[in-house]
Amino acid sequence: MADVVVFGYTVPLEVVLVAVALVIGLALGISFFLTISLSVYRSVNETRRDRVRPVLREELFERLFAEEPDWGAWVKELSHVEREVTESLLDEHLRELDGQEATQLRGLGEALGIPERAAGQLSNRNMYTRLDALTWLTILQRPEPILESSFEPTTPNERAAMVTLLQSSDRLPDAATGVSILLDGTDEQFTVFGQDTLYRVARADPGPLLQTASSEYDAWPEPLLAQVLAVCAHLETSVRDGDLNWLTAALETENEAIRAAAAEALGSFGWRASLRDQMFLERATDDPSPRVRAAVYQMLATWGDQKALSILLFALVEEKHPRALTLGTTALVGRRDRIDTDAGAVLGDAWDWSAEHATYDRLARETGGEQVGG
């Protein structure tokens, strides 16, 4: 074998290979030892947790329903492992309880020092640590660390968690503040939790969301715009005013998913005279995308007045796409008591099929899922 020069010395290659093998073997041995040690440590801790959990749960409930729970004295007696288990029990039961019991149980969180610890974690660089802190503050109904600090949410999850904390503790000044926290300066879409938070804020007062969307929608990425449109689609009759030009503009974008979402959102605004323009509605029902046309058909059925249903019926007569025709006819069947024309004679098999399935669904609901039909 050839020799190898190492630090100015000539060393036989086999010696180098043996040294490398020893180093690798030693590293693997250390890794194995550390893995086993960590596994044993976790197993022992988990066993200890499982052993003390029933005892701690029983003690927690005894104190919860006592006149004076004296959480502070109890917490002082707990070991490190017992405190961890107690915190997990607190988390579990505060998510299930409400009223006086929840208020009483939050005193345990105070005794454990969770609000102070959460306040310190708000400045942690790790996003999940910050979210954990916001979650605890929400469970304990303690918005003070947020209100008294300079904390600024930097991710959609943090924005939603902060609004949830303020809203659940009755410290959110108004819907405008909630919408501002959620949407100002953001260019990322929400999780399902964030979208639900936006809905709950907008449901109380839709005006700020509509106003923000009117001025910002064209700067939002399409996934975020689609989420805002989905929220608007569920605002229903709570909407009383606000500029809707952005919604009609979204109905004419290039992205068919956005156009379909805009049509679904417009279902909540059918009473607006500005949406009753004949040319606008005819253009919407002539959309090149079957997906969008189906959404427009459902929008018209949601409006449910004679003019909207007449436009829907005539559009379905010309519809060639099977799925769009089925969805549109099904939506129209739901409004059949408001149709003067014999829609069955006009739409033929599509009407018969949709009407039969609507009847089946109604009977299934009335019978609680029992067998229906012949």
What does the pLDDT look like over 202-232, one tens digit per residue? 988 888 999 999 999 989 999 999 999 999 9
Whether the pLDDT of residue 371 is over 70: the answer is no
Percent of all residues in the chain with a pLDDT value above 90, rounded to a whole number: 53
Return the number of other C-beta atoms located less than 10 Å from residue 252's C-beta.
13
Q: CB of 354 within 8 A of CB of 329?
A: yes
Whether the pLDDT of residue 1 is over 70: the answer is no
- Residues 166-195 have a mean pLDDT of 93
Q: CB of 291 within 8 A of CB of 255?
A: no
Instruction: Please tell me the predicted confidence (pLDDT) of residue 179.
Output: 95
Cβ burial of 96 (10 Å; 0-12, 13-18, 19+) is: exposed
pLDDT band at 44 (very low <50, low <70, confident <90, very high): low
User: What is this structure's pTM?
Assistant: 0.77
Instruction: Please tell me the predicted confidence (pLDDT) of residue 41.
Output: 66
Instruction: Please tell me the predicted confidence (pLDDT) of residue 293.
Output: 95
Return the amino acid letter for 50.
D
What does the pLDDT look like over 310-342, one tens digit per residue? 899 999 999 999 999 999 999 998 888 777 777
Residue 152 token pair: 């600024």
Whether the pLDDT of residue 374 is over 50: the answer is no
83-87, 215-219, 306-310: lowest mean pLDDT where?
306-310
Give the residue among 271, 266, 273 at the shortest CA–CA distance from 249.
266
The CA distance from 233 to 245, in Å, is 15
Whether the pLDDT of residue 10 is over 90: the answer is no
Q: CB of 262 within 8 A of CB of 229?
A: yes
130 contact partners, CB below 8 Å, separation of at least 6: 121, 122, 124, 158
The CA distance from 172 to 165, in Å, is 8
What kind and span of H or E run contains 11?
strand 9-12
The CA distance from 89 to 72, in Å, is 16
Whether the pLDDT of residue 7 is over 50: the answer is yes
The CA distance from 278 to 308, in Å, is 10
Instruction: Please tell me the predicted confidence (pLDDT) of residue 240.
Output: 60
- Residues 185-209 have a mean pLDDT of 91
Phi, psi of 369 (to 5 degrees): 95, 0
Cβ burial of 27 (10 Å; 0-12, 13-18, 19+) is: exposed
